[in-house]
Structure 1
C-alpha cells in the first residue's frame, strides 16, 4: 500500500507576521525519521533574526529549535548537499552569507561568500556534489565551494566565466561532465556545452526525435529541466486521479505531467 502525503498544520510565529518562509527536507540519521525544517524570517526593527522550527513526520508535530541571527530572504527550498541544507541569507550588517544546517548535529554554521557578492544577482545551486553559486553581473560566473569535508579549509573557486548569447537571467547551469565541460540550459534556446573556450549548442531533437512536439501556431518548442526522484508516496491531483506504482490508474493531468517531464541524459565515457 502506498502511503499518502500528510497535511501539515502551519505553526504560528511567536512574534509578528513572517516576511519570508524558507524550508528544507532531510532524514534524521539517528531516529530514521523524515523531517521538514522551516526558517521563518520575521520583521523586528530591533534585531535581525529568524525562527527555526522542525516538523517530525514520525511524531506528527512541530518543534521550535531556536533562533538564528540571519534573514533568509529567498522563499525557496534549501539545497541539500552531503547531509547539509544551505540557504543564502543576510546578517545584521546586510552582508550576504551562506547559512548551513547540519542535519546530523542539528546545528547551524555560516560561510562567507566571495568578494563583491552583495549587490548583484546570485543563485544558489548544486553542481558535481558541491554547493555552487551562479553570479550574474556583466558575465555569468559559476563558483564552487571546495574542500567541503574540511570546514577549516572551505574555499570558493571560480570555475567558469561565460558571456551567454541571451539574457544572463535565462542561463541555468545543470551539470559538470567528466571532461570538465559545463552543461547549461538557456531558456527558449536549448541546451549548451561550455568548455572554457566556446559555447556549443546540443541538438536534442536530432538525438531524441520523440520529443519534437508539433505546434499549429508556432514552429518551435520549449523545453524544461526537472529533477527526478524515486518515491513511494502518492500525491493526489486536483483534477484527476494519480497513477500508482502498478500502473492501475492515470489521468489527463498525470499524462500531461509525464509529457512535460523533460529529457533524461546519460554521459558516455
Structure 2
C-alpha cells in the first residue's frame, strides 16, 4: 500500500535535506511544483529550524568560501565544497554580514553593494543600489556599519546600513534599511545621537541586530545597542555582568552571545535569555545568564580564542571555532571535546552557521507568492535551469 502524496510531502519530504530535495524535483511535475511552493518551503524551513540542521560556511583569508552541510558537521572525516562560478566570482572580495533562515548576506565596495546568497541552493541575488538621496553628510568622514537579519513581524529579510559620522564631540548616524519583500530602501529618521557604534557587523538574534557601542556622554561607558527589524527602532540593551575587561559580541545560530575573556584563564560565554528581547526593551538587567566557561588549559588545550558557532538540537553540545583553525564539538555536561576532521578545510578561516532552506531569490519576486502561479512553459524552464545548475555545482 502506497502512502498518499499529502503524507509524503508533509511528513517525509519536508524533513529531507535540501541537496536531496533538489533531485526529488525530477520525480514528476507534481513533486517539483509542491517542492517549489511557498507553503512547502516554509514547512521545510520550520522543521530545519526546530531540528537545528545547521550547515557551516567557511570564509578563508584568500576570499574563498567553502560549504559543509549538517550531515558533514555531525559525521567525521568528510569534505567541504568550494563555491564555484558564478557564485565565486560574485562573492570575490566580499565580506560576510550575517545569516538568517538559510539566507546569507555579503557586502562589497566599501559596503555599498550587497548580495543575498542561499548556500543550500547555490542561488544569489544582487540587492538594488542605495538611492542617492540617502547619501551621507558632506564634509564628514563616514564609517559604514552593516547587518542582515529576518523581520519576523513582516516576514521579510532586511539589510541595515549605518553610516556613522563624527563631527566635533557629536556622532551622527544615517541609517537606511533594505527590504527584500519590496526590493527597496528606506531611511530611518529616529536614530540615537549620543552613541558611537564599534566598527563590526551587526549580530542577528531574535529579530534584532545588535552592536557594541560606547555612550560618550557618560565617560564612554560600554553598552549594547539593538535595532528591531520589525519595529524599525533602536534601543539600548543592558550588558551582562562580565568578569573581564574585554568582551565580544557574537551570534551562534539564533543565540546572541557575549564572550568574556577573563584574565587569560578562561572564556565565559553569556547567552541572552529566551525572554531577553522583551527584558532588554524594558530595561531589565536580567536579560543574560552565563551559559558555560571554557578553562585554559582544559579539554581544548591551550587556545587564544574560542567562538561558539552553533548549538546541538539537545542543547548539550556546542560547536566551537578554536583559533580560526579548527572546529570542535564541546560537551557542556561532560566537559569533553571532539575534533571534527573536515577534508579540504582552509588552514585559517572564519566559520558561520546557516540553516538549510529552499528559500528562493528570484528577482522582483514577492515572498508570499508561489512559483506555480506563472505560465507552465516559463515554470518548466526555471525548474530545468535550477536543477541543471544544482548538479553542475556538485550538490
TM-score by length of 2: 0.49
Task: State whether structure 2 residue 260 is matched by structure 1 residue 132.
Answer: no
Residue 182 (structure 1) aligned to one of 293, 309, 318: 318
TM-score by length of 1: 0.69
Structure 2 distance, partners of 1:133, 1:33, is 27
Structure 2 distance, partners of 1:79, 1:108, is 14
Structure 1 gap segments, 5+ residues each: 206-210, 215-219, 236-242, 259-269
Aligned to 1:120: 246
Q: Report 1:137-176 matches (<5 A).
A: 137=262, 138=264, 139-146=266-273, 147-151=275-279, 152=282, 153=284, 154-162=286-294, 163=296, 164-169=300-305, 171-176=306-311
Structure 2 distance, partners of 1:73, 1:172, is 19
Q: Is the 8 A contact 1:90 1:96 kept in 2?
A: yes
Structure 1 distance, partners of 2:145, 2:293, is 32
Quick check: which one's helix share is greater? Answer: 2
Once superposed, which parts of structure 1, at least 4 consecutive aligned residues long, lie more than 6 Å away? Answer: 220-224
Q: Is the 8 A contact 1:42 1:49 kept in 2?
A: yes
Q: Report 1:17-166 matches (<5 A).
A: 17-27=141-151, 29-30=153-154, 34-57=157-180, 58=182, 60-68=184-192, 69-76=194-201, 78-92=202-216, 93-115=219-241, 119-126=245-252, 129-137=254-262, 138=264, 139-146=266-273, 147-151=275-279, 152=282, 153=284, 154-162=286-294, 163=296, 164-166=300-302
Structure 1 distance, partners of 2:350, 2:387, is 25
Structure 1 distance, partners of 2:245, 2:187, is 35
Task: State whether structure 2 residue 136 is matched by structure 1 residue 13.
Answer: yes
What CA RMSD, in Å, does the superposition of the two structures yield over aligned residues?
3.7
Shift of 1:114: 2.6
Structure 2 gap segments, 5+ residues each: 1-35, 37-122, 364-382
Q: Is the 8 A contact 1:54 1:65 kept in 2?
A: no
Shift of 1:196: 5.5
Shift of 1:133: 0.8
Structure 2 distance, partners of 1:198, 1:52, is 43
Q: 1:28 to 1:113 in 2, by over 3 A?
A: closer
Structure 1 distance, partners of 2:166, 2:329, is 42
RCO comparison, higher one (Cα < 8 Å, 6+): 2
